[in-house]
Amino acid sequence: MGTEEGAPRTPDADRTAATTAGRPLRRGPVVAAMMLSVALAALDGTVIATAVPQIVGDLGGFSLFSWLFSGYLLTVTVTIPVYGRLSDTYGRKPVLITGIVLFLIGSLLCAAAWDMASLIAFRVLQGLGGGALQGTVQTIAGDLYPLKDRPRIQARLSGVWAASAVAGPAVGGLLTTYADWRWIFLVNLPVGGLALWLVARYLVEPRRTGPQGRARVDWPGALLVFAAGAVVLTALVQGGVAWPWLSAPSLGLLGAGALLVALTVLVERRAAEPIVPGWVWRRRTIAAVNLALGALGLLMVAPSVFLPTYAQAVLGLGPVAAGFVLSVMILSWPVSASLSHHVYRRVGFRQSAVIGMSLAMLALLVFPFLPYPGEPWQPALLMLLLGAALGLFQLPLIVGVQSTVGWSERGTATGSVLFCRQIGQSVGAALFGAVANAVLTSRLGPSGGDLDTAARALDDPGALSPAASETLRRAVDTAVEYVYLGAAAAAGLAVLALLLVAPRRFPVLTEPDGD
pLDDT of residue 246: 80
Q: Is the dihedral of CA 346, 351, 353, 356 positive or negative?
A: negative
Q: State the CB neighbour count (10 A cutoff) for residue 461.
A: 7
CA dihedral 420→421→426→430, nearest 10 degrees, is 100
Can you tell me the distance from the alpha carbon of 266 to that of 258, in angstroms, rounded to the nearest whole number?
12
Contact of 66 with 99, CB cutoff 8 Å? no
**d(C-alpha 88, C-alpha 402), whole Å:** 13
pLDDT number for residue 50: 67
Give the C-alpha separation, 139 to 157, whole Å: 12
Geometric angle at alpha carbon 162, from 426 and 375, rounded to 5°: 90
pTM greater than 0.85 (yes/no): no
What pLDDT score was predicted for residue 462? 62
String of DSSP letters for 213-237: GGPPP-HHHHHHHHHHHHHHHHHHH
Residues of the chain with pLDDT under 50: 1-4, 6-24, 209-213, 511-515
The pLDDT tens digits for 214-261 are: 557 778 888 888 888 888 888 877 777 667 778 888 889 989 989 998
Query: What torsion, rounded to 10 degrees, do the Cα atoms 268, 273, 276, 277 define?
Result: 90
The DSSP call for residue 501 is T
- Report d(CA 51, CA 58) in Å as an integer: 11
- Structure confidence at residue 8 (pLDDT): 40
CA pair distance 126, 507, nearest whole angstrom: 37
DSSP string, 442-495: HHH-GGG--HHHHHHHHHSTTSS-HHHHHHHHHHHHHHHHHHHHHHHHHHHHHH
DSSP 8-state secondary structure symbol assigned to residue 171 = H
Supply the angle between the helices 319-327 and 150-178 in degrees, to the nearest 10: 170
Q: What is the C-alpha separation between 316 and 312, in angstroms, rounded? A: 5
The residue count for the chain: 515
Angle of helix 377-402 relative to helix 349-366, nearest 10 degrees?
160
- With a CB cutoff of 8 Å and minimum separation 6, the contacts of 287 are 280, 281, 501
**What pLDDT was estimated at residue 21?**
41
From 452, 281, 305, 473, select the one nearest 374 (Cα to Cα): 473
508 — phi, psi (to 5°)?
A: -75, 135
pLDDT given for residue 213 in this prediction: 46
Neighbours of 444 (CB within 10 A): 17
Q: What is the pLDDT of residues 283-298, one digit of tens each?
A: 999 999 999 999 998 9
CB atoms within 10 A of CB 58: 16
What is the rounded distance in angstroms from the CA atom of residue 378 to the CA atom of residue 384?
Answer: 10
Helix ranges (DSSP H) in 239-376: 248-270, 279-282, 284-301, 307-313, 319-327, 329-339, 341-347, 349-366
